[in-house]
Amino acid sequence: MRIAALALVIPLTACQGAPSSPHLITIAKPARAGEALIRGELAVVRGCVVMKGPRRNSTVLFDPGVTLLPSVEGLHDPHSGNDIPFGQRISGGGGFLRENAKGWPISDIERFYGVTIPAACPKDDIMRLRNMEVLEG
């Protein structure tokens, strides 16, 4: 009976750990396509960096060199030179690769951009975002 109790405690303890840092998806090489001005708010949802949307969130692919801030409360865009806090309104250049589950197949996005989109990240809406700036007011 004592062995059975220990067997239950060990797996439960193994699941308790420090929260993981957000998963930032950066493309393997710079690639440009049609771009538009995009405004919105970056957030971390289920460990994924997303652009919050009125109906659903979009997984964001960033340019090479974009990194999480040491505080993990935002990211740094070396191309614009800006620190971008999560939860603030921003603007940047970009475009949708998938919208409403239409557009590029996930496998094509992953292969072309040299990324892996984690299972927890939204797959119906995927966008590229670059040259970000925080919007005032």
User: In the chain, what are the domains?
Assistant: 23-132 (2.40.50)
The C-alpha atoms of residue 105 and residue 110 are separated, in whole angstroms, by 9
pLDDT 10s digits, 80-98: 999 999 999 999 999 999 9
Q: How far apart are CA 10 and CA 68, in angstroms?
A: 33
Evaluate if residue 63 carries a pLDDT over 50: yes
What percent of the chain clears pLDDT 70, i.e. is strictly above it? 82
pLDDT of residue 20: 57
Where is mean pLDDT largest: 5-9, 30-34, 83-87?
A: 83-87
pTM, to two decimals: 0.82
